[in-house]
Amino acid sequence: MSSQLSHMPERRHDVVVIGGGSAGYAAARTARDAGADVAIVDQGPLGGLCILRGCMPTKTILRSAEIIALMKRAREFGLSPVTAQADLSAIVDRKNRLVQEFADYRIAALRDPRFTLYESRAEFLSPHELRAGDVRIRGGAFVIATGSSAAEVAIPGLDEAGYLTSDEMLDIRRQPASLLVLGGGLVAVEFAQFFTRIGTKVTVLQRSTTLLSDMDEDIGQALAAAFQEEGIEVITGVSFQRVTSTPSEKTVHFVQGGAVHARSAEIIFQALGRRPNLTALNLEAAGVGVIDGRLVVGRDMRTSQPHIFAVGDVNDLTPIVHLAIQQGETAGFNATHPNEPARVIDHRLDAEVVFTEPQIAVAGMSERQCREEAIPYLTASYPFADHGKAMCLGAVHGFVKLLCRPHDGALLGAQIVGPEAGELIHELIAVMYFHGTAQDLLRIPHYHPTLAEIVTYPAESIVEQMGRA
C-alpha cells in the first residue's frame, strides 16, 4: 500500500471539500470567493441529498397530495364534487423531471473551472492528506460534508421481511394498498400524509409519546389530531418487538401500554433516523474524533482538528439544509481566514419546517428548552380556528405560539402549526434577528385579512401579561 501511495501523483489545494451537496458547495463557494484554490471531492451521484433524495423531491410529490386533498373537499366550498385519482407513476415522473433540472444546475456549478473536481471517494491518509481515486491530495484545510444515509435499526425480523427507506419510497411507481410507517419524525409524517392522500391505508408507529418528539408536545398532539381526521392511524409510545411476513404482507409486533399488539401492511417504511456517511473516510488517520457516530463541532464548525471542519448531516447539529448552508459558509470563511476572528453560527435563529398539512414551523427556543435551561419566559398562543382568514380558507387546524422574555418582551422562540406556517415563521425569525419584542410585533402594521396578522394576537396577550407582572 505504501509503495502504491509513493507512486501516486500529488496535488495541493488550499481548501479541500469532501462532498458537493448543499453544505459542501456552500463551503467551496465561500472559500473560492475568498481567493482560495479549492478542490471538491465527491464520488457521486452529484447533486447532494437535498436535491436528489431530500427537500426538493419530497416537496414536489407533496404538492400533488395537497392538490388531490383540496379537490376532495370541493363540496365544502360550494363546488360540484369531483373524482380525484392519483397516478403515482406520473407523480414520480414529474418529480424526476424537476430533480434533474435542479441537479443539472448544481452539477454545472460543481464543474465550474474555478474549482478542481475529483469524482471519486475520499480517504484520509493523514491529518493533512487524503486519497481521491489514484491521486494524493494535500490540503491546508478540509471540510467534511459527506451527508447521511438511512440508519439501520435492530428490530428482529425486519431485514428478513424487507422494508423501504425514504430513498426507495421516492421512486416506487405502484401505489401500495397499505403502509406501515416506523417512526414519527419529519420524514415519517410527510410521507405518511402523502400516501394517505393518494389512497393508501397508513399506520404510523412512533416510539416516543408524541409525533415530532424533538418539538414541544402540543405540536405533535395537534398534528396527530389532524392525521386522525384524515384517517391515518397514529400509535405512539410503542416498543418494537419483531417483524414477521408472508408473501402478501408484513406484520410489526410491538408493545404499547404493557400489551402486545400487531399491525400489518403491504409495505414497511423504515423512517427511524439517519446516520452520517463517515465510515469510508478513515477519520482515524486524520485524528478526528467521532462521538455517537457524529462529528462534534464548535460554533465555528471546527472538529477536534482545528484545520478540519464538518458541516451538514455529518455533525452533531440540526440536519436542516438552510442551516447546513450557513455551516458551510461559516466553515469556508474560517478555513480561509485562520488569522481573523472566527465566524460562528447564531443558534438563536435555528428554524425547522415540516411540510405536512397543517404545516409546522418552529424557530428559536421551545418551551422544553427554556425549562431545561431554567430560562424564564412568558408564552401565549392563538388558534387558527378563531382566525378570520384561516376560516375563509378552510384551514383551521393549529395555532401560533410565542415565547418571550418576561422583563422586556424579547422574542425567544416561535411555533406555528397551521396554514403556510413555513412562510409565516420568517417574520418572526426577522424580529428575533433584530432582537425584537412582542411590542415590536404590535407596532408592525399587518394587513387585514391575512394569515400573517395572527401573530399579533399572542403578542398582545404577552404584553398584557407583562403589564400584570
| Helices marked H in 362-445 | 367-372, 388-393, 421-433, 438-443
What size, in residues, is the chain?
A: 469
Strands (E), 19-134: 38-41, 115-118, 122-126, 129-132
Pairing mode, if any, of strands 290-291 and 274-276? unpaired
- Residues 257-275 pLDDT 10s: 999 999 999 999 999 999 9
CA distance 402 to 224: 21
pLDDT tens digit sequence for 82-123: 888 999 999 999 999 999 999 999 999 999 999 999 999 999
In the numeric block, the cell 406555528 is attached to 416
3 has pLDDT over 60: no
Report yes or no: 16 and 39 within 8 Å, Cβ to Cβ. Answer: yes
pLDDT band at 73 (very low <50, low <70, confident <90, very high): very high
Q: What is the DSSP letter of 454?
A: G
Do residues 301 and 310 lie in contact, with contact meaning Cβ atoms separated by under 8 Å? yes
**φ/ψ (deg, to 5) at 351:** -140, 160
Q: Where are the alpha helices (DSSP H) in 111-170?
A: 158-161, 166-169
Task: Give the mean model confidence (pLDDT) for residues 13-39.
Answer: 97
State how far the Cα of 16 lies from the Cα of 125, in Å rounded to an integer.
14
Collapsing DSSP states into helix, strand and coil, what is residue 346?
coil
Which cell is 128 given? Answer: 493533512
Confidence of residue 316 (pLDDT cuts 50, 70, 90): confident
135-144 and 129-132 beta bridge pairing: antiparallel
Residue with cell 467551496: 28
Say yes or no to pLDDT of 2 above 60: no
1 pLDDT above the threshold of 90: no
The answer, as to whether pTM is greater than 0.85, is yes
Tally Cβ neighbours within 10 Å of residue 75.
10
State the residue for C-alpha cell 387585514: 448
Domain ranges of the chain: 2-150+275-336, 158-272, 348-468
- What pLDDT, on a 0 to 100 scale, did the predictor assign at position 469? 61
Query: Binning pLDDT at 50, 70 and 90, where does residue 318 land?
Result: confident
Model pLDDT, residue 203: 99
Please tell me the distance from the alpha carbon of residue 213 to that of residue 211, in angstroms, as a whole number.
5
- The CATH number of the domain covering residues in 158-272: 3.50.50.60
Confidence of residue 5 (pLDDT cuts 50, 70, 90): low
Is the model's pLDDT at 4 over the cut of 80?
A: no
Q: Which residues, 6+ apart, have CB-to-CB distance to 439 below 8 Å?
A: 409, 459, 463
The DSSP code for 176 is P
Tell me the CA distances in angstroms from 305 to 254, 288, 289, one per residue in order: 43, 6, 8
Whether 67 has a pLDDT exceeding 60, the answer reads yes
Question: Which pLDDT belongs to residue 319?
Answer: 82
* β-strands 351-354, 308-310 pairing: unpaired
CA distance 296 to 236: 31
- The rounded mean pLDDT for the chain is 96
* CA contacts within 13 A on the Cβ side of 204: 35
Q: Residue 251 has what pLDDT?
A: 98
CATH 3.50.50.60 fits 348-468, yes or no: no
Q: Which is the CATH superfamily of the domain at 2-150+275-336?
A: FAD/NAD(P)-binding domain (3.50.50.60)
CB 224 within 8 A of CB 211: yes
pLDDT, residue 449, reads 98
Express each pLDDT in 211-247 by its tens digit.
Answer: 999 999 999 999 999 999 999 999 999 999 999 999 9
What integer is the mean pLDDT of 424-442?
98
Decide if pLDDT at 454 tops 60. Answer: yes
Q: Give the residue from 72, 94, 270, 263 showing the smallest Cα distance to 169.
A: 270
Cα four-point dihedral sign 36, 39, 42, 45 = positive
Distance of alpha carbon 46 from alpha carbon 49, whole angstroms: 9
CA distance 387 to 450: 9
Average pLDDT (332-353) is 95
pLDDT digits (tens, 9 = 90+) for 136-163: 999 999 999 999 999 999 999 999 999 9
Which of 174, 185, 240, 229 shows the shortest CA–CA distance to 360? 185
- pLDDT-based confidence at residue 8 (cuts at 50, 70, 90): confident
Q: Do domains 158-272 and 348-468 have the same CATH topology?
A: no
Task: Express each pLDDT in 372-406 by its tens digit.
Answer: 999 999 999 999 999 999 999 999 999 999 999 99
pLDDT surpasses 80 at 6: no
Model confidence at 58, pLDDT cuts 50, 70, 90, reads: very high
Burial class of residue 442 (count of CB atoms within 10 Å of its CB; 0-12, 13-18, 19+): middle
State in Å, rounded, how far the first CA of the chain is from the last one. Answer: 72
pLDDT more than 70, % of the chain = 98
Which pLDDT does position 349 carry in this prediction? 94
Q: Which residue has the higher pLDDT, 289 or 242?
A: 242
Residue 15 CB neighbour total at 10 angstroms: 26
Q: Rounded CA gap, 265 and 389, in Å?
A: 39
